[in-house]
């Protein structure tokens, strides 16, 4: 399986309007002039399948026994990847069940198995730490996370401090440049996004 070019990734993300401009409140409270949202990809099965294959190609050098999706945006991406890879999938629940099995991790795995974490976007990294802690406390070995877009806002460094290497299909600066070149982003929106990333 061939890893895609940044142009191919940007074109697909542009087609599903994954990059939006305006004023968006981030999880850490900051206001951003742009937002990367891949949740809508579930409406485009062909695109979802392709991104799953691309993620699988990016994961080729990595060792993992199962995939671990971060809810909620990471789940359809990891499902697409799991189907392409024929690998089992697990995910930590956002809220532990208070009935039935009362599981915190859905799926089946052996303690000591290596899990490759899959999500849509990496921003500051702090939102990932809770999910990673749940996976590790359940006995999974987690050393790598794979995302579609890295917003390049310090997340890779935060995760590295916890022994997690981050991998991505495209950085947000690459995405912005490619979309600008293709005429899918205005110069005004491009400039405002780059200014925000530089602060």
Residue 178 maps to a domain = yes
pLDDT for res 125: 87
**Per-residue pLDDT reduced to its tens digit, 93-151:** 876 555 555 678 999 999 999 999 999 999 988 878 989 999 999 999 999 999 999 99
The number of domains in the chain is: 1
Residue 31 included in any domain: yes
Look at residue 159 in the predicted model and tell me its pLDDT: 95
Q: φ, ψ for residue 145 (rounded to 5)? A: -130, 140
Counting beta carbons within 10 angstroms of the beta carbon of residue 149, is it exposed (0 to 12), middle (13 to 18) or buried (19 or more)?
buried
176 in a structural domain = yes
Residue 161 has pLDDT above 90, yes or no: yes
pLDDT of residue 102: 65
Q: Average pLDDT of the chain?
A: 93
Q: Report yes or no on 1 lying in a domain.
A: no
In a domain? residue 58 = yes
The answer to whether residues 33 and 22 touch, using CB atoms and an 8 Å cutoff, is yes
Q: Is residue 156 assigned to a domain? A: yes
pLDDT tens across 53-101, in order? Answer: 999 999 999 999 999 999 999 999 999 999 999 999 999 987 655 555 5
Model-level pTM? 0.93
**In the predicted model, is pLDDT for residue 182 greater than 90?**
yes
Residue 16 belongs to domain with CATH number: 3.40.50.2020
Domain that holds residue 129: 6-198
**Residue 56 placed within a domain:** yes
Q: What is the predicted pLDDT for the residue at 97?
A: 54
Kindly state the percentage of the chain with pLDDT values over 90: 85
> Are residues 168 and 175 in contact, defined by beta-carbon separation less than 8 angstroms?
no
Does residue 101 lie in a domain region?
yes
Residue 194: the pLDDT is: 96
What pLDDT does residue 104 have?
Answer: 86
């Amino acid at each position: 399986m061939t890893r895609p070019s940044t142009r191919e990734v940007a074109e697909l993300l542009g087609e599903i309007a994954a990059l939006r401009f305006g004023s968006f409140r981030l999880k850490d409270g900051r206001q951003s002039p742009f937002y990367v949202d891949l949740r809508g990809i579930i409406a485009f099965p062909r695109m979802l399948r392709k991104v799953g294959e691309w993620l699988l190609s990016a994961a080729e050098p990595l060792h993992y026994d199962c995939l671990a999706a971060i809810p909620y945006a990471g789940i359809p991406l990891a499902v697409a990847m799991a189907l392409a890879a024929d690998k089992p999938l697990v995910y930590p629940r956002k809220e532990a069940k208070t009935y039935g099995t009362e599981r915190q991790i859905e799926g089946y795995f052996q303690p000591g198995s290596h899990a490759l974490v899959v999500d849509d976007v990496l921003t500051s990294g702090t939102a990932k730490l809770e999910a990673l802690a749940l996976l590790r406390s359940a006995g999974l070995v987690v050393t790598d996370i794979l995302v579609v877009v890295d917003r390049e806002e310090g997340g890779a460094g935060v995760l590295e401090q916890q022994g997690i290497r981050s991998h991505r299909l495209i950085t947000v600066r690459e995405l912005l440049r490619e979309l600008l070149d293709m005429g899918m982003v205005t110069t005004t929106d491009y400039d405002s996004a780059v200014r925000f990333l530089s602060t």
